[in-house]
Structure 1
Amino acid sequence: MSVAPKASEPTWPIPPEGGWTADDLDELPNLPPHTELIDGSLVFVSPQTLFHSRAVSFFAWQLQSLAPQDFEVIREFTIDIDRQNRPEPDVVVVREDVVEDPEQTRFPVEAVVLAVEVVSPDSEARDRETKPIKYARAKIPHYWRVENEKGLAAVHAFELEPTTGTYTSVGIFRERMKMSVPFPVDLDLTKIRARREESQ
């Protein structure tokens, strides 16, 4: 007579009192890719949609091609805000001098000039509410939120208002995005849609 196997013990990491810290994110074994730390809690990212993946690739490529030499554009890389917050913007633009070696796993928040988040169904509240507040408090000068409007990109652009320390909207862009900060950009947002149509 065979014995039924025991149910396996859960392998999820148990948070310490007070929550996880930014340093823990590098030490915890077997975390899923792109795990973030928000308010001391681990946030696991759901599988990406096709729109999300294409939008992230589009902005990473376009911004890298337009950025001045003293900026670096990186996709899906964590930034240190404080001890309990280490989010991972979908695309981040940082000063080139903080890109130190191939083994580094995060950037200091004071070096970030632009954070871009592409909204997914599971990240709506974080991208629209939680992250903008944290990014503004950390004094990131520019924040772009990319929304999927029936397969087309709509970019909500925000700039830090220095007297209030909060973001103010500088526009919602569809089809074309033309801005002078943090450096001049002129983006054809329909290319995200065009690639989608060409793949069908």
Structure 2
Amino acid sequence: MTSTVCEKTGTRGDGRDPLANWPRPPAGGWTADDLDRLPDEGPNGEPDFFKHVELVDGALVFMSPQKRFHESVIYGLRTALNSQAPHHLKAVTQMDLVLGEKQRPCPDVVVIDAEAAKDRSRTSYKPDEVHLVIEVVSPESRFRDREVKPKLYAEAGIPHFWLVEDKGGDPVIHVYQLDPVTRSYMVTGIHHDRLKTGEPFDIDLVLTCLPD
């Protein structure tokens, strides 16, 4: 029999409270370090419940299941960037960035120092190890990807940011570069079919033929 959730009491049809075992925030709220101490299972034993969670302004943000477009673009960009990156840089996917005590977002793709990528025990990276951050916009994260996260990345001093939009199933990439004076991003181009740039290294991508 399928359990239902009672709207007034917050309990399921079988009498169980779905939030009974929910981890309570510590005094002062969640911090970046707390994400390394979250339990493996959810409040009702769900496996990997906290596997895809970010910390934005001290709040836990759970990421919805991704669409095939999202997964394909992430894989394609990581593969293509690594095929062109110099030996001292490495593209990785869905690794946290610790930007402050209350900020630990998880970008879709980041280009980091290759030396930092060698440590397989790392769960996060620092801004001074990051050269490029890429966010692939999805419906549920549109506001965070377009408005919230770029400001966090810019304030942290990350020099390059790409925002990928879905235009009829094809990626369109908005490329931004940091203005070190204002600590804000300035758009340098919007790329539909091909992205060619010299920053943060020589990159030439045919966006309609990314690895899949």
TM-score (norm 2): 0.85
Change (3 A) 1:9 1:150: closer
- Which amino acid in the other structure matches residue 176 of structure 1? R
Match of 2:147 among 129, 132, 143: 129
Gaps of 5+ in 2: 1-12, 42-48
Number of residue pairs the alignment of both structures matches: 191
- Which amino acid in the other structure matches residue 74 of structure 2? V
Write the distance in 1 (CA, Å) between the matches of 2:78 and 2:50: 22
- Which amino acid in the other structure matches residue 23 of structure 2? P
Shift of 1:32: 2.6
Q: Which residue does 2:56 correspond to in 1?
A: 38
Q: Which residue does 1:198 correspond to in 2?
A: none
Q: Which residue does 1:14 correspond to in 2?
A: 24
Contact between 2:38 and 2:50, CA under 8 Å: does it hold in 1? no
SS of the residue 1:115 aligns to = strand
Structure 1 residues 126-168: Cα deviation after superposition (integer angstroms, max 9, x where no partner):
1100000000000000000000011111100000011211100
Write the distance in 2 (CA, Å) between the matches of 1:32 and 1:116: 22
Q: Which residue does 1:97 correspond to in 2?
A: 115
| Alignment root-mean-square deviation, CA | 1.6
Match of 1:88 among 106, 117, 140: 106
Structure 1 residues 164-197: Cα deviation after superposition (integer angstroms, max 9, x where no partner):
11100000000111111000111010125x95xx
Write the distance in 2 (CA, Å) between the matches of 1:153 and 1:72: 22
Match of 2:35 among 19, 25, 31: 25
Q: Identity of paired residues, percent?
A: 42
Write the distance in 2 (CA, Å) between the matches of 1:47 and 1:59: 19
Change (3 A) 1:170 1:40: same
> Residue 62 in 1 paired to residue 60 in 2?
no
Shift of 1:69: 0.5
Change (3 A) 1:100 1:186: closer
Q: Which residue does 2:170 correspond to in 1?
A: 152
Structure 1 residues 15-70: Cα deviation after superposition (integer angstroms, max 9, x where no partner):
23432011100001034322111111111000001100000001110111111111
Q: Which residue does 2:179 correspond to in 1?
A: 161
TM-score (norm 1): 0.90
Shift of 1:87: 0.6
Write the distance in 1 (CA, Å) between the matches of 2:56 and 2:34: 12
Shift of 1:100: 4.8
- Which amino acid in the other structure matches residue 28 of structure 1? L
Match of 2:201 among 170, 180, 183: 183
- Which amino acid in the other structure matches residue 169 of structure 2? G
